[in-house]
Each structure stands twice: as C-alpha cells, then as structure tokens.
C-alpha cells in the first residue's frame, strides 16, 4: 500500500514525499481509512509504529480551506506535545494551516498572544489547556476532531480530572480519535465513555515490546553499575545511547559521572526548565552528545531516529514502563538493543516484566560486576549446582528459576 491510497490531498502527499515516507505502517493502513470516514476510533499500537501520522493525516485533510480552531490534540507530556506539533507542521507545510502548542514551562503570555492570532490545530498538555480555559483565552466550542494521544500515560499521570473538565468545553457532536499503547481497565472504561460507537484498530496485542529489539539483562552490583556502563559504552557499536534512571537526582549524578569519564552526555528530567530540556533533546538528536540520561519523562514522545541502545540503569517499577522505555529504540521497523542492569533487589521487578512479555531475557554475567559474587549463577556454568538444602531445585538453568527459587539459591549456595 502507498500513501496515495490513504489520502488524496496533493499538499499532504508532497510533504510525505519530502519526509521520506515510502510505505504506511500497519497502524496507519488500518486507522487512516476509518478516521477519514468521520467515525470515532480507538487505535492500539506499540510506540514507534506511526500512530501520530494516523491521526494527523485525516485531521489535516478535514480542514480544507476553512479557518478556525477545529482540531485539538491532547498529549501527556511537553516533549510528546512538541514532537506531535513538529510533525503536524511538517505534514501541513504546503497547507495554509497554523499549528499551536500549549504546554507548561513556556510563558503563558506569549501563548495568549499566539492564540489571539489564531490557530487551526492546537496540541496541548491537559494542565496548560485548563489554564487557558480558566482564563478564557481559548474557545473549544467549534472543535470537530479531538485526539487523545498516549491515553494510557495520561491516566497514569493522574490527568483524569483535567480530561473530564476539558470534555465539558467541547461540543458533544465531534469525532474522537483515541490512541494508546496499552489498554488497561481504566483506559478501556474512558474510551467507552467518551467515544460514540468507535471502530477498534489493533496492530499488536497490548503489552508487547516492539520487534527488532534485542533484550539483555546484566547481573550487576549497585556500586558497579557506572563501571559496567562505561565498559559497554567503550564498545564500537554503542553509537547513540538513551539511559533511564529512576530518579532525577540519580540522573544528575550519573550524568556528572559520565562527563568526568570523558563521555559526552546531557541530562533530561522534570526539574530542568523548558529551555534546558529542549537543548538536551536537540543536542542528543543532532548527535552533539552521545548519551542522554533521562527519567521516565522521556519514555514516551521521544521520537529520535538512530538510538542504538536503551539502558535501564534502574529497573522500572511498572512493567509496562519497560515496554515504553525500550520503544525508544528499534522504531518503525529499525533494530536496536535494550539493556537492563539487574541487582539482587531487582529480581521481582525483572520477573514481573518477563511475565508481562511472556518470555525470559538473556542473562549476561561479567565476573567483575556480577552481584552474585563471581558470575557462576547466571552464565559461567551451564547449570546451577546447589547443596543438599537446595537439592529440590534440581539442576535447572538459572533463567528457568523463579525469583523465590533464586533467592533460595543465594541463601544456600
């Protein structure tokens, strides 16, 4: 299938050719024809599969020669909103449309002036949009298309009250396009409540990692994580690396350690102001720095081509966050590698992720870093040997054991 089978707008097709898009992705092939009919839609697909174009192309096509604010796109984070707005501007390059972004961290007075000048499409985060609604600086009464992008993440971040408030300002007769990477119960209930007889489009079962990503788990003592990361970064194929930490403080510390070791890197987290966050993303995107150290603020909406490796310096607490983190590499059919550092206290979280995905990770042990005290538990011997107290576990491979069984081995081995 080609894009000219999905849209007949010459201006949009011209922009698509300049972007270098050749064939639509599966979610685009399924979602765009439905959205063009005006039906409400629920699209479920992994990150990096082209969901953004799935709603932008029909929305842009609908505008035609009309003026005024007809499309509202809600995103959970500033970074995602800015990426969506950039994509909208690229696709509407040859259309006389104005795309605005209303996100926190930027001067609201400038946004008010821009709103007075007029937008056709607004991409917003819920909190900042509520600010404008309370000030009376935006009118949503003529909205014809509402898009909720990464709806599961919006609910995870506690935006349900803001979404409900925004819905009260929208006309009841509208088209709603609802996109999500996962479909937990809360998201499913929201979709059923706000959509009118929607068409459900799914290109992968919920809670699956993108194909083309090699996934590995390294056994490592907490105090040796930085040393192991530096050793991995010394490998020639580690070109552009995104490293996730659990806390903002941890991101700052790791960034400083890497810089002292001579690794070009920058840091991204919620305590950085908008100017610093944009600079960090720009430096990483342009290849001016090799490593971006980030908290989960970057796990969605970070659409940068060429990320070769994603490193979970800290194992995510929520198994679904693992899927979104590693989705920053291997995007749109490309290949990539996801590496997770596992210490003794992370066994349960890693097991939960494996249970969610339905398979076990490749375990790698390097004796100098292995938290088990020598590397024998995971890789240096093909089978686990235990003493009499643990004999009931037999000689199964360590990767076949449950977290409880591994803890028993550590106690008795």
Architecture of domain 213-380: 3-Layer(aba) Sandwich (3.40)
Which tops the pLDDT comparison, 147 or 386?
147
Average pLDDT for the chain: 83
pLDDT of residue 209: 61
Alpha-carbon torsion 400, 406, 412, 413, what sign?
positive
> Which strands, in side-by-side order, build the sheet including 175-180?
99-102, 121-124, 71-74, 145-148, 175-180, 41-44, 199-202
Overall fold of domain 3-202: Rossmann fold (3.40.50)
Length of the chain: 413
Gap between the terminal Cα atoms of the chain: 58
pLDDT attached to residue 371: 84
Give the pLDDT mean for 254-260.
94
Could you tell me the pLDDT band of residue 397, with boundaries at 50, 70 and 90? Answer: very low
| pLDDT score recorded for residue 378 | 39
Q: Where in the chain is the domain with CATH 3.40.50.300?
A: 3-202, 213-380
pLDDT at 368 over 70: yes
Q: Give the H or E element holding residue 122.
A: strand 121-124
For residue 378, CA distances in Å to 354, 355, 370, 389, 410 come to 16, 19, 9, 20, 12
For the record, the structure tokens of 49 come out as 């599969």
Cβ neighbours of residue 332 closer than 8 Å, sequence gap 6 or more: 25, 48, 49, 50
Residue 226, CA distances (Å) to 230, 248, 313 in order: 6, 16, 9
State the DSSP string of 331-346: GGG--EEEEEEE-GGG
The pLDDT of residue 260 is 94
> What is the rounded distance in angstroms from the CA atom of residue 29 to the CA atom of residue 54?
8
How would DSSP label each residue in 54-98? HHHHHHHHHHTT--S--EEEE-SSHHHHHHHHHHHHHHTTTS---
For 30-59, how does the pLDDT look when each residue is reduced to its tens digit (9 = 90+)?
999 999 999 999 998 876 678 899 999 999
Q: Is 286 helix (H, G, I), strand (E, B) or coil?
A: coil
Please write the tens of the pLDDT for every residue from 207-218. 556 667 889 999
The whole-number pLDDT of residue 404 equals 55
User: At what angle are helices 248-260 and 225-233 packed, to 10 degrees?
Assistant: 50
- Least Cα distance to 234 among 313, 290, 286, 287 occurs for 290
**H or E element, residue 124:** strand 121-124
pLDDT tens, position by position, 161-181 = 999 999 999 999 999 999 987
Q: pLDDT confidence of 13, banded at 50, 70, 90?
A: very high
- Please write the tens of the pLDDT for every residue from 89-123: 999 999 988 999 999 888 899 999 999 989 999 99
């Amino acid at each position: 299938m080609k894009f000219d089978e999905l849209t007949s707008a010459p201006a949009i097709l011209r922009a698509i050719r300049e972007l270098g898009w050749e064939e639509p992705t599966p979610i685009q092939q399924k979602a765009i024809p439905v959205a063009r009919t005006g039906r409400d839609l629920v699209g479920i697909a992994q990150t990096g599969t082209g969901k953004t174009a799935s709603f932008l192309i029909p929305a842009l096509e609908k505008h035609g020669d009309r003026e005024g604010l007809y499309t509202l796109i809600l995103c959970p984070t500033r970074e995602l909103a800015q990426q969506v707005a950039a994509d909208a501007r690229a696709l509407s390059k040859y259309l006389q449309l104005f795309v605005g972004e209303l996100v926190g961290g930027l001067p609201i007075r400038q946004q008010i002036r821009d709103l007075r000048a007029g937008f056709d499409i607004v991409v917003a985060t819920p909190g900042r949009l509520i600010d404008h609604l309370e000030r009376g600086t935006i009118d949503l009464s003529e909205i014809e298309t509402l898009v909720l992008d990464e709806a599961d993440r919006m609910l995870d971040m506690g935006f349900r009250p803001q979404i409900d408030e925004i819905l009260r300002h929208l006309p009841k007769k509208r088209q709603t396009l609802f996109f999500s990477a996962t479909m937990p119960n809360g998201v499913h209930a929201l979709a059923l409540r706000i959509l009118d007889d929607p068409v459900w489009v799914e290109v992968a079962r919920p809670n699956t990692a993108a194909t083309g990503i090699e996934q590995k788990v390294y056994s490592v003592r907490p105090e040796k994580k930085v040393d192991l990361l530096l050793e991995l970064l010394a490998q020639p194929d580690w070109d552009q690396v995104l490293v996730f930490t659990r806390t903002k403080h941890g991101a700052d510390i790791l960034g400083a350690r890497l810089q002292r070791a001579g690794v070009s890197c920058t840091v991204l987290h919620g305590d950085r102001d908008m100017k610093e966050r944009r600079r960090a993303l720009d430096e990483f995107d342009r290849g001016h720095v090799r490593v971006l150290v980030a908290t989960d603020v970057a796990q969605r909406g970070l659409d940068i081509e060429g990320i070769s490796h994603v490193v979970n310096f800290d194992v995510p607490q929520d198994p679904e966050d693992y899927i979104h983190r590693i989705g920053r590499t291997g995007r749109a059919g490309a290949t990539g590698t996801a590496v997770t550092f596992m210490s003794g206290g992370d066994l349960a979280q890693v097991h939960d992720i494996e249970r969610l995905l339905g398979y076990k990770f490749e375990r790698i042990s390097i004796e100098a870093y292995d938290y088990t005290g020598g590397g024998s538990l995971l890789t240096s011997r093909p089978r686990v040997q235990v003493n009499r107290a643990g004999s009931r576990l037999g000689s199964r491979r360590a990767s076949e054991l449950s977290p409880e069984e591994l803890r028993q081995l550590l106690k008795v081995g």
